[in-house]
Chain A
Amino acid sequence: MKLKTILDLPCGMRFIFSEMEFASSFSGQVLLYSVMNITPAAIEGSYDELREFLSLIQNGTGAASINKSRAALMDLRDIRNTLTALETGKIPDDVELFEIKNLALVSEKIREILTPHNLKSVKFPDLTDVVSLLDPEGYGIPSFYIYDSYDKQLFELRKKIRISGDESGAILAECLIIEVKIREMLGNRLKSAVLGLREALMSLAKTDILISKSRLTERLGLTIPEISDGLNKYKSLFNPEISQILKKEEREFQRIDIELDQKIPTILTGANMGGKSVVLKTLALSQFLFQFGFGVPAESAEITPVEEIHYSPGDLQDMNRGLSSFAAEMKMADRLIKNSAHGHKILALLDEPARTTNPQEGTALVTSLLNILNGRPVFLLAATHYNIRAKGCARIRVRGLEEGKMNYELIEAAESAPPREAVNIALSLGIDREWLDEALRVMDEQNKE
């Protein structure tokens, strides 16, 4: 799975991506097409690289090198097409030679800046040959033309134009013939350097990505989690996007602790407006961040790598495929059941599954889903208002309204009906009193029955 495909899931990955300050837009493209890590080793590898850059930006000389690198990386461009053309033997024109020279200069500059730090995560090939080929006069500036020093005859002809002009254009024509030969020579010699150039291009993008990731980690207060096996445990989890919105209003996000066990489904209940959806959304985001090698929004965390992440937000209409919310939800649950039966490791976050149908059938559908998934390698968290009687599930709930104020803390819940707080919350919203009194009366009647 590529990062690009989860950008528009409603879990907030787009926010994270937009917060990354790449020096070059090319690095952003590379990141979007990167593939999600599945194995613990791959995730550990990504985090080793991030740790290396984090420790770099946290010390004085390292931070200075990072700033210098960022400035140099601003000139990084996507020249993959140019390199491919070069490889196939196309003779490069001046603009392409300019691009190649520019890449080689940026790469050499970054190599010089970063070599003293002895980094393991990024390696830069030696491109001094390319630089000296395309900068024969040794100015070290990223501009290019077919230099006089490539050919003695060219030098003489151009001198002639400068001194006595070239009314008929005959001398220029002679120059052009020589220039073509030189481009051919340059193309041939550069062809053998394509591998190195390509390696440099991708290493530069990787450097930019790692710098952006580590700066993001610092700025949003993210943390590198422990890799776990069979447990997902977050201490002081927060949603970075909502935190930022609240901060602007000088309010603070109430952080929560949560623990999920593989093989034991967890039921999350709680009042409306109690932040259940935010918990699910943040857990989805955190799992993606973890598997793409980002820091996660928590004080500390232990996370287990999974192969699939199924996140079903409240309103999962798939209009592109002509599915209603109910159909889309059912399809997703179906995949969940089939794939987990094949032993796929899955994180499933279901926000009020089957909420759009009648409570009786809805309760039955959810209860049976939890019964089936119990014991399979699935981290499952289902937020619901239904009274689910599935056996062997963990139960947590939002603490709820306390003296008119919402406490979002998650606590263990007893195996009973969810707290009936909807009327209280409606009251606090200033909803029509007559209606709510009537609702309380109806409820009393139901209880008597």
Chain B
Amino acid sequence: MPFIQEILGCKSISVVGLEKNTGKTECLNYILRRLPSGGLTVAVSSAGTDGERTDMVTGTAKPEIFLREGMLFSTSEKYYRERRLTSEVLSVSRKGTSTGRIVTARVLTGGKILLSGHPATEDLRKWIEDVSVRHGADLSIIDGALSRLSIASPAITEGMVLATGAALSASMDTLVRKTAFTASLIALPSTEIRIDKRGEMPSKGLWRVERDGTMNALEHESSLTAGSILPEEVKGAAAIYASGALTDRFLNQMQTLLVKEGIELIVRDFTRIFASQGHFNAFIRSGGVIKVLNRSKLIAICANPVSPEGFILDSSRLCSMLENATGLPVYDIMKSVYEA
């Protein structure tokens, strides 16, 4: 699989699934199996708890991942106790999550583990730094959640692998269209304005970003009340930073406000965009510019032609359609005919 080479060029990658059961965990296992076993320390963790509990309800197998000897991983105390491998505790976080504190450990004999992770983006960023500095990890892999419920964003990693599959839609056209749309969001360019962050970016509200990078709060609570923003309030700004979600309504309001003035719209990363494809495209076509703060390079797409309900899509047609639509390499992880 040639994309392994590209992964090895990154310090950190995340694997994100478009929908549950699109084969994200299989994709992660696939990558882990194919990473060279010697000379490279790999650390694995997860961005928040994805939807493991729902899985337990529907009865599908819990998405455990298989780790080899020497790999590092972080998971919550609860899942650490349930591990099915031998490992050595290296550190325990101070902060707790709903399933206990985060334990970082080294695998001594290979086996299976359920990952659960860091509750917030900043914690995830710190984890990547921590495992590399304190425990010598060369590559950090994050099992990323693309759900609205997840607060921690995987978009802080250098590279990203997108998992899509029949679980997203039974119609191949819809599946390809939706996947291509997400791929285009991931590919949104990062802003060229050097924002004067003074620590962390604000997590609340709408902000005016000036040409010199300074930020001033607009007197509006969130993107939900943006309808009352007056044109004078944004006039002359280089950009507007929306810390919250980018919804259809918000995009419509911004369209009349920003496009004419040539003001760009900045969001934290692509996971903040909840607008539908139609509204998003309308905004772009009218001349709107959307940029992100954090951007990951999309390395490849993994497609899973098998849906949890049991139907199977034509793998080679699916892959070639996705390739045409996104311009990225697409792999069917259920097949193993690729070369590493």
Give chain A's interface residues, CB within 8 Å of chain B.
Answer: 25, 77, 93-95, 98-99, 143-146, 158, 161-162, 165-166, 169, 172, 175
Out of B80, B85, B90, B109, name the residue touching A143 (CB < 8 Å): B90
CA distance A95 to B87 in the complex (A): 11
- Asked whether B85 lies within 8 Å of A98 as measured between CB atoms, the reply is no
- Asked whether A94 lies within 8 Å of B92 as measured between CB atoms, the reply is no
CA distance A94 to B103 in the complex (A): 10
For chain B, residues 50 to 105, give those with C-beta under 8 angstroms from any C-beta of chain A. Answer: 69, 77, 80-81, 84-90, 92, 94, 101, 103, 105
- Asked whether B94 lies within 8 Å of A172 as measured between CB atoms, the reply is no
The reply to whether the CB of B334 lies closer than 8 angstroms to some CB of chain A is no
- Asked whether A162 lies within 8 Å of B94 as measured between CB atoms, the reply is no
The reply to whether the CB of B329 lies closer than 8 angstroms to some CB of chain A is no
CA distance A235 to B182 in the complex (A): 71
Task: Give chain B residues whose Cβ lies under 8 Å from the Cβ of A146.
Answer: 86
CA distance A172 to B87 in the complex (A): 12
Out of B80, B106, B111, name the residue touching A94 (CB < 8 Å): B80
CA distance A98 to B89 in the complex (A): 7
**Also in contact, A158 and B89, with CB within 8 A (given A93-B81, A94-B80, A169-B84):** no
Nearest B residue (CB) for A173: B84
- Asked whether B77 lies within 8 Å of A172 as measured between CB atoms, the reply is no
Can you spell out 12 A-B residue pairs with CB atoms less than 8 angstroms apart? Answer: A77-B94, A94-B80, A94-B81, A98-B89, A145-B108, A161-B86, A161-B109, A162-B109, A166-B109, A169-B84, A172-B84, A172-B109
**Also in contact, A143 and B92, with CB within 8 A (given A95-B103, A161-B109):** no
Q: How many residue pairs bridge A and B at CB < 8 Å?
A: 49
The interface residues of chain B, by DSSP majority, are classed as strand
CA distance A162 to B86 in the complex (A): 11
**Also in contact, A94 and B89, with CB within 8 A (given A77-B94, A162-B69, A169-B84):** yes
CA distance A339 to B179 in the complex (A): 76
Nearest B residue (CB) for A176: B84
CA distance A77 to B92 in the complex (A): 10
- Asked whether A143 lies within 8 Å of B88 as measured between CB atoms, the reply is yes
- Asked whether A95 lies within 8 Å of B109 as measured between CB atoms, the reply is no
Task: Give chain B residues whose Cβ lies under 8 Å from the Cβ of A95.
Answer: 77, 80-81, 89, 92, 101, 103
Task: Give chain A residues whose Cβ lies under 8 Å from the Cβ of B80.
Answer: 94-95
- Asked whether A145 lies within 8 Å of B109 as measured between CB atoms, the reply is no
- Asked whether B90 lies within 8 Å of A158 as measured between CB atoms, the reply is no
- Asked whether A145 lies within 8 Å of B92 as measured between CB atoms, the reply is no
CA distance A261 to B108 in the complex (A): 71
Nearest A residue (CB) for B83: A94
List 16 extra interface pairs beyond A25-B94, A145-B108, CB under 8 A. Answer: A95-B80, A95-B81, A98-B92, A143-B88, A144-B88, A145-B87, A145-B88, A145-B105, A161-B86, A162-B109, A165-B110, A166-B109, A166-B111, A169-B84, A172-B109, A172-B111
**Closest chain B CB from A4 CB (angstroms):** 20
CA distance A178 to B80 in the complex (A): 18
Task: Give chain B residues whose Cβ lies under 8 Å from the Cβ of A162.
Answer: 69, 109
**Closest chain B CB from A396 CB (angstroms):** 46
The 9 closest A-B pairs by CB, nearest first: A145-B88, A98-B89, A161-B109, A143-B90, A144-B89, A143-B88, A158-B109, A94-B89, A162-B109
Nearest A residue (CB) for B135: A143
**Closest chain A CB from B33 CB (angstroms):** 13
